[in-house]
Amino acid sequence: MTHIFLDGNAGQFSIDESLPDELKRESILGEIFLRHHNKSIFLLEAPAGYGKSTLIQQWRRALTEKGERSFYLCFSRKDNNPSSLKLNLLGVLKSEWSIDLPDSIQNLDLSALMNHLLGTVSGGGTGVTLFLDSCEAVVNPHVLRYIARAIESCPATVRFVLSGRTAIRVPRAKAVLSGELVRLSAQDLAFTRSEIARIADRWRGSPLAENELDAIYQKTGGWPVMLRLASLEWRRLDDPAKLREALSGANEIVSAYFMEEVLEKLPCAHRELLLKSSPLEVVSTALCRSATGLVQAASLLEELERQWFLVHRGARSEEFAAFHPLLREFLLSRLQVEYPGAFERILLKAAIWFRQQDQVDMAMDHAIRGGHVGWACDYLSPLIFDLGFKLGQFSNIGRWAQYLTQEQLRHYPSLKLGLAWLNIFNNPDVAAGLLSGMTEKDVAVGTSEEEAHANFAMARAVLATTSDKYVDAWNYFRDWDRRHPELTYQRANVLTAWAYTAYALKRIRDAKRLCDAAGEAIERSDAHLAGLWLPIIRARLALFEGKPGEVEQIITKVIVAGSVVRGQDKQAWGLLNVCLAEARYMQGEVPGALDALGQFSGGQIRNDVTVEMAFAVARLKGRLALARGDFRRAIQSLRADLQASRAAGMTRLTDLIAGELTTILLCAGRIRDAWGIEKDHDLSVPAGESKAPSLEERQLVQARLMISHQEYNRAAALAMNLYSRATSMGNFGLTITSQCVAALARWHLGQRQDAHRLMVNARMTASGSGCQQIFEDEVKYLKPIQDDVVSEWCESSEIADNEISTPTGDSVLSAREKQVIFFVSKGLSNIEIAKILLVSSETVKFHVKNITRKLDAKNRINAVEIAHDIGLLGRGRE
């Protein structure tokens, strides 16, 4: 049975030592014996429950195993009387240390007795360790002086280990300067996460899940006694996952421990400060004085930190401190009992103090936790736009918005507009609902009329962009720029969103111009949101123009500048990785593309991104599966994304994914399935106004479907029209794919030379910019053309069937070598020949080497000359 009791001798609340899972301190003891074995003074200073006595017991056992002597003395409050301390020492000398004492020792004073004690225990010439526990019990200055003198005058063979819950009052300056002192604080005595994992493994006999381990570590903070209490709760609970809820400051055992070992041992003033400071997320002298009304708060807090170690620095900044989480939970429960109604009053005073310090997030958090939502609305209303597009605190605004009612939003229209701005990027439908019925006059609260009108117009324009209404957005932005040219912060956001709108409308020159203007505005204003999106737009433009290498450079600059930090804006970082995945895929780096795409929510379609970005994700997943030869997975992925886009109500995205699915089905030879998608989504119908931004993508799918329906003339005409538009727009990907589709249509029409020319042009365009994968995706459609063209070229070269001897007397060139030397004579590189013959460039290089050897040529150019002379390439050179 496990017992919890109050040890009357030591005055310590503890757990029955019969527990089989004593918390071992191997790491601390190992560090002491390895690095500090020659030090003379050790101070163990930490609050109750940090395992100081347990560490001493394990330390003594380890010394015994090493054959070293140790002695233990535990102080109590009675030892503040020198006579009582003398009797305590005499009793310990006889009963526990088994030292024979002469009768004359009874007449010695305390100082002489301590000197005799040290001389006795240090005899024999070997080292000895003297453990003095519960030093906080001794507060009498005279007794403390006796102990200090004994430590200062002790022989070199004696090592002192002093343990206490408060700062131990012994002279330490000399020991510190000489490097003889080692201090272990609560931070040193707390268990690490890995130690907790090993301890918990013993409780349950199997490793902890990461979330369970996190729950224990966050709740206990490595506090040893809390880990012991956690072990009790672990045994009691049927579901270990409930440990986080069960182990709280309101837990019966935890409350009993804190009451008996913390509150009841504190002076009244310190106790009041602890209780009244418990509602605060962090504490500081000025904050505590303002929120609690205690004039002496500064000195009390300083003493709690210095003497009792119940306050830990480093919360939010060095200015602020915090309580242990479990201790704070307990104090909050006691506050309601001892000071009813104080919780709400303290939090309001804290909110006012944080407002005076311009710490908006802390002011809002404390006000809302105290139920002062009206005060929070008054405070937040004029600040919400600055927090949003200047500081990017969207997560905070979203968290606070959960506590606002519709009635409150009606009374604070600027808050309503701010929440609309927040949802523009996460949920455009919600943003549209919030903006519905609002006018510019509604938001002229707490700010200038011009700025209010500008904010409203900006939100309306950006909402049009995120809602896929690019034509409306373009007009809104143009109107905003005419009316509000001097508002720096808003202008940076407007220009950035306008640049994206221009990109989506494929007005590339305008997009570049707006990007440059936005960059200048961001530098002047440091607009957070615009700074996040501008690199994404630049990356999209680089991909549009077939410059994948520039995408890597853009992302590198972002990382170096620190403008997008993964933990602070996961959405922006994810979208940049989508661009990086596209760039790597275009260059044929499939593993790298997969890795980058995984950074975007695992590659899942979401409704908080634009149509273009969502389609890029869906298309990439399908193409990457296709690059690995997995047609089934590619089709399944696109079908799933098609369903998701329908559910999200993203009509144009649904149309784009349906077109991509049709393309993959045609590539896989599943013509009837492709026709089914065509019928279900009206892909053959001309694009309406709502689908105008994706007109070219839709027409490319229509051209492919025309080929499947054997409408070759229409397909060729449409593809060539697309090629002409792609060239004028600078749309790199469409330039390649439209030529390939036109080549296939021309081939079916019997125009084989034109088909080959278009195919070679597409291949040369792709390979010239390092975007080979765009052409590789089309090779699956073009294989019949390649086979036919290669055969036709070989026939037209008038290569005789009979053998022609080579200059070296070797056998004639093989059929593949004849093909290779023919393409070499046309000026094609090894990589380009490999693309035509569907082999690797290394294979082509091998064939060229054999050709030069057989023809006794100096190089490939000389090989072509010899091949002409001996008739391998038709008639000889003229």
DSSP assigned state of 130: E
Please check the confidence at residue 604 and state whether its pLDDT lies above 60.
no
Q: Which of 333-337, 564-568, 589-593 has the lowest mean pLDDT?
A: 564-568
Model pLDDT, residue 18: 37
DSSP assigned state of 154: -
Name the pLDDT band for 30 (thresholds 50, 70, 90).
confident
Please check the confidence at residue 86 and state whether its pLDDT lies above 70.
yes
Angle among Cα 718, 722, 723 to the nearest 5 degrees reads 115
Helix (H, G, I), strand (E, B) or coil at 813: coil
Q: Long-range contact list for 335-343, CB < 8 A, 24+ apart?
A: 335/275, 335/276, 335/278, 335/279, 338/275, 339/275, 339/276, 342/276, 343/279, 343/370
Measured between alpha carbons, how far is 774 from 546 in angstroms, rounded to an integer?
10
Cβ neighbours of residue 11 under 8 Å, at least 6 residues apart? 76, 77, 134, 137
How many beta carbons lie within 10 A of that of residue 469, not counting itself? 18
Query: Which two tokens mark 356?
Result: 């005076």
Measured between alpha carbons, how far is 603 from 616 in angstroms, rounded to an integer?
10
Choose the most confident range, by mean pLDDT, from 231-235, 376-380, 433-437, 444-448.
376-380
Reported pTM: 0.60
Model pLDDT, residue 722: 92
601: left (phi over 0), alpha (psi -120 to 50) or beta: left
Measured between alpha carbons, how far is 372 from 358 in angstroms, rounded to an integer?
18
- pLDDT, mean of residues 190-201: 80
Choose the most confident range, by mean pLDDT, from 95-104, 476-485, 507-516, 557-566.
507-516
Q: Pairing state of beta strands 181-184 and 158-164?
A: unpaired
Measured between alpha carbons, how far is 720 from 726 in angstroms, rounded to an integer?
10
What's the one-letter identity of residue 81? N
Query: Which two tokens mark 273?
Result: 């400060």
Please check the confidence at residue 789 and state whether its pLDDT lies above 60.
no
Cβ neighbours of residue 657 under 8 Å, at least 6 residues apart? 615, 618, 619, 638, 641, 642, 645
What's the one-letter identity of residue 766? A
Please check the confidence at residue 6 and state whether its pLDDT lies above 70.
no
Model pLDDT, residue 809: 47
Q: Which of 154-163, 334-343, 650-659, 819-828 has the lowest mean pLDDT?
A: 819-828
Does the CA dihedral 356-361-366-371 come out positive or negative?
Answer: positive
Give tens-digit pLDDT for 183-194: 888 888 888 888
Higher pLDDT, residue 242 or 590: 590
Centroid of chain to Cα 626: 30
Model pLDDT, residue 683: 86
Cβ neighbours of residue 829 under 8 Å, at least 6 residues apart? none
Model pLDDT, residue 636: 92
Model pLDDT, residue 242: 64
Model pLDDT, residue 19: 38
Please give the full DSSP string across 692-734, using - where no structure is assigned. Answer: GGGHHHHHHHHHHHHHHTT-HHHHHHHHHHHHHHHHHHT-HHH
- Is there a contact between 200 and 213 (Cβ–Cβ < 8 Å)? yes
The mean of the pLDDT values for the chain is 79
Q: Which of 305-319, 512-526, 687-701 has the lowest mean pLDDT?
A: 305-319
Give tens-digit pLDDT for 380-419: 887 877 776 556 666 777 778 778 777 777 777 777 777 7
How many beta carbons lie within 10 A of that of residue 396, not counting itself? 18
Give tens-digit pLDDT for 804-856: 455 554 557 888 888 888 888 766 778 778 867 767 788 889 999 999 988 88
Query: Which two tokens mark 446?
Result: 């707490």
